[in-house]
Structure 1
Amino acid sequence: MFGLIGHLTNLEHAQKEAHKLGYSEYANEGFEFWCSAPPILVDEFQVKSVTGATIEGCYIESCFLPEMLNSRRIKTAIRKILNAMALAQKHNINITALGGFSSIIFEEFNLKENKQVRNVELEFERFTTGNTHTAYIICRQVEQASAQLGIDLSKATVAVCGATGDIGSAVCRWLNQKTDVADLLLIARNRERLELLQSDLGRGKIMGLEEALPLADIVVWVASMPRGVEINNETLKKPCLLIDGGYPKNLGTKFNHPDIKVLNGGIVEHSLNIDWKIMEIVNMDIPGRQMFACFAEAMLLEFEKWHTNFSWGRNQISVEKMEQIGEASVKHGFKPLLTFS
């Protein structure tokens, strides 16, 4: 069996969807209640591969809310993720994906130092961030969507916002090694990490966001947009492709121009329907088939019986591992989302 650990986008969203997820008693509770609420296994389902194989899966709602980070409830956020992981292990799940902020919290706050969760000693090989498959899907979206829009990668400038993160650095490595993209613009907050990435790639220009955006034919956005930042449509190239790799997806609401196309990054479509609740609740257009690529990674690892933390640790994603998970993705019937928002 595989597992998915996730969370909803904010308190209002969590209250609204509590009925559908089966814990109606949470619906009218406020922030403090959600801070103490335990994780819940709320959905069980089957996933079928185009090969004919069938696997069993479940979704665990961590009851984490992004407001917990904004209100400096860091210890609460950490406890939420560790408790959800312990719940997955108690159910003897082979491999579980840490979705949304779950993997970010795990890496950022070094949760591998917290193996003991009450009476459970976490076995980290049972968990994956799903970032390798996410990075692979984003790269394939860049390649395929740019061709749809008539953007020639061999002449194109690609800006990667969040370039030093786990997914961002992997995207940079793939574009550097597997495509003939003309130029890479590297955007992130930490100058030292940017310089290390630039050295590793042997290319790329380090730039600030405002400087880079007018130069980019394609923008891969895998970092949170800074608060208060507004982007004028007129400053962007036409055509321009924006890949929104963040969570929640919100770039599509910020641009209104026929030649600026926004694609929800890191989303896959499965060839076969899945009877589950969670993708409808997070507003996928085709909830029976569309999902986050990090969740799909857990499915692929279960299909292939690769019961290991395939994606783990900061900046450990190689092009070779992206190719490996990409081959499994195609084999079992997954493809990148190519519908513009």
Structure 2
Amino acid sequence: MFGLIGHSSSFSEARLKARDLGFEDLADGELDIWCSAPPQLLETFEVTSNTGKTIQGTYIDSCFVPEMLSRFKTATRKVQNAMELAQKRGINITALGGFTSIIFENFNLAKFQQIRSTLLQWERFTTGNTHTAWVICRQVEQNAPLMGIDLAKARVAVVGATGDIGSAVCRWLSRRSGVADLLLVARQQQRLNDLRTELGGGEVLSLEEALPEADVVVWVASLPQTLTIDSASLRKPCLMIDGGYPKNLDGKVNSPHVNVLKGGIVEFARDIGWQMMEMAEMANPRRQLFACFAEAMLLEFEDWHTNFSWGRNNITLEAMEQIGAASIRHGFSVLGLEAASISPLPIAA
């Protein structure tokens, strides 16, 4: 069996979901009550691969919300409690979705392996970041040409370039996709310099400098609520991949020549009998899901019961190719632009 650990995109959304599920005490409770709420196993379901293999899965809500990020000890405890629940249920491999994986990028898990009477076994958990990185790269490769963007001549900005997903995307785009120029954007200068050295190229820029220069923008950092984007300054055409969480980049951009695609989303070959993706506001919630969750399914399909993705900057191109091949084999396809939504190319004067 595989598991998925997730959370709501906001406190207000979590309260609404709690009311729908009959948890009135949580629906009416303030944030402090949610900080002490235990994780909830909300549903179980089956998934059948294109190979014919059927596996069982379960979804665990960590009762974590992004508003808890300022309380780091609380946030980590919430995720660890959900991991403990998954392990106690005997789940082979569990994916951490949304902020639950980001929390652990700079966290020394070895110091916090004991949760009450449970010693967490890391091989039972994966962040799903390797599959997410591969999916985002395939979204760039498949959709940029549809907009008339030649990657061999394109400048691609990666916002959040030094994170686990961001650094993997940079490696793939520079060594597999043949992108002409990479524009590296992140907050910590030393990590940017180290990444540029590793890649053997790339240009370190601020966000304000990079956006007007980019034919493609891959956004894998958290999107600040206060951020404003001057749509008129963006390239025509421009493809923007919203690989952050929650996915709200489309609300920041208003231009007929810019297409925003939800990044890190896959569509399965057949319906899945679950409710969880309706909460995530997927366009096709019976088939569409986050690539990080799909990684847990793939590991269960393949009997690869190991922490395939973990930590920061550990994702290799070989691992991306391996999980990508499994993704195709079992019936997943990357989310692409709808033909009707692709903005027309500007007419030359």
Number of paired residues? 339
Alignment of 1:1-341 (within 5 A): 1-21=1-21, 23-69=23-69, 72-339=70-337
The alpha-carbon deviation at position 226 of structure 1 amounts to 3.8
Sort the Cα spacing of 1:339 and 1:203 in 2 relative to 1 into closer, same or farther, 3 A: same
1:106 alignment partner, SS class: coil
Q: How far apart are 1:304 and its partner, in Å? A: 0.1
Given that 1:269 and 1:335 are in contact with CA atoms closer than 8 Å, whether structure 2 keeps it comes out as yes
Q: Which AA in structure 1 matches 2:277?
A: M
Q: CA deviation at 1:181?
A: 1.0
How far is the alpha carbon of 1:227 from its aligned partner? 4.9
Q: Secondary structure at the match of 1:153?
A: coil
Q: 1:106·1:112 contact (CA, 8 Å) conserved in 2? A: no
Post-superposition shift, 1:43? 0.7
Which amino acid in the other structure matches residue 273 of structure 1? D
Instruction: Give the counterpart letter for 2:241 in structure 1.
Output: I
TM-score, normalised relative to structure 2: 0.95
User: 1:312 offset after TM fit, Å?
Assistant: 1.1
Q: CA deviation at 1:24?
A: 4.3
In 1, Cα distance between the equivalents of 2:180 and 2:191? Answer: 22
Distance 1:185 1:21 in 2: 44
Question: What are structure 2's unaligned runs of at least 5 residues?
Answer: 342-349
CA drift of 1:111 comes to: 3.0
1:103-144, Cα deviation, whole Å (9 max, x unpaired): 111223333321100010000000000000000000000000
2:347 aligned residue: none
Q: SS state of the match for residue 167, structure 2?
A: helix
Q: Structure 1 counterpart of 2:126, which letter?
A: T
Measure the CA separation in 1 of the matches of 2:309 and 2:41. Answer: 23
* Residues 105 and 164, structure 2, Cα contact 8 Å, conserved in 1: no
Q: Distance in 1 between matches of 2:271 and 2:153?
A: 39
Of the structure 1 ranges 20-29 and 115-124, higher mean CA displacement relative to structure 2 is found in 20-29
| Percent identity of equivalent pairs | 62
Structure 1 residues without counterparts, runs of 5 or longer: none
How much does 1:280 deviate? 0.2
Give 3-state SS (helix, strand or coil) of 1:180's partner: coil
Instruction: Give the secondary structure class of the aligned counterpart of 2:157.
Output: strand
Secondary structure of 2:103's counterpart equals helix
Q: Which moved more, 1:111-120 or 1:58-67?
A: 111-120
CA distance in 2, matches of 1:186, 1:207: 6
CA offsets 1:140-184 (integer angstroms, 9 cap, x no match)? 000001021111101100000000000000000001111121110
Residues 22 and 42, structure 1, Cα contact 8 Å, conserved in 2: no
**Code of the aligned partner of 2:162:** T
Q: What is the SS of the residue equivalent to 1:152? A: coil
CA–CA separation in structure 1 for the residues paired with 2:233 and 2:115: 50
Counterparts of 1:216 and 1:22 in 2: how far apart (Å)? 47
| Aligned equivalents of 1:179, 1:106: Cα separation in 2 | 29
Residue 62 of structure 2 aligns with an amino acid whose one-letter code is: S
Is contact 2:106-2:311 (8 Å) kept? no
Per the TM alignment, residue 32 of structure 1 is displaced from its structure 2 partner at its CA by 1.4
